[in-house]
Amino acid sequence: MGDFEIDWNKYRRMVKKSKKRRHVVKKKQELIDQSNQELISSLKNMMQVSKLININMLKEVLGVDSSIFYQNLFNLAAKLGITIEGDYLNADNVSVSNFIRALNKYLKLNISENLLMDEKLTCQYCGSSLQPNTKFCPNCGAAL
């Protein structure tokens, strides 16, 4: 066999850099999760106060680009059965968790599934609890 020598110092430096990168990535994800948790909390507070949500206030809270926000607003409203009344979304028949999940999907907020798992899914028609990724409500049969 040929001569093969391992430069252990170089190897240790590479391992150290790799660990450092993983730590930075983990820290960054923790900050993103914390920011998303604050966002979820703000949305919950908005919906507990009123089911009429000011569209401009919602856009500001989400911090989403205007073109993306308005482009997807109608898809979001149609999917959830929310009516748009002037400058307001009427989210009277939508649970907070379903609203947050739809915002995440249509506005590409990148809220991690782990944070969303804490939010209980409910059918927007009958209020029954649902499992994630359910297409139809097992209680009333409504398409979700």
What does the pLDDT look like over 15-46, one tens digit per residue?
Answer: 888 887 887 777 877 777 777 788 888 888 88
Which string of DSSP letters, residue by residue, matches 14-58? HHHHHHHHHHHHHHHHHHHHHHHHHHHHHHHHHHHH-SEEEHHHH
pTM of the model: 0.54
Any bridge partners for residue 124, and if so which?
none
Q: What is the pLDDT of residue 123?
A: 79
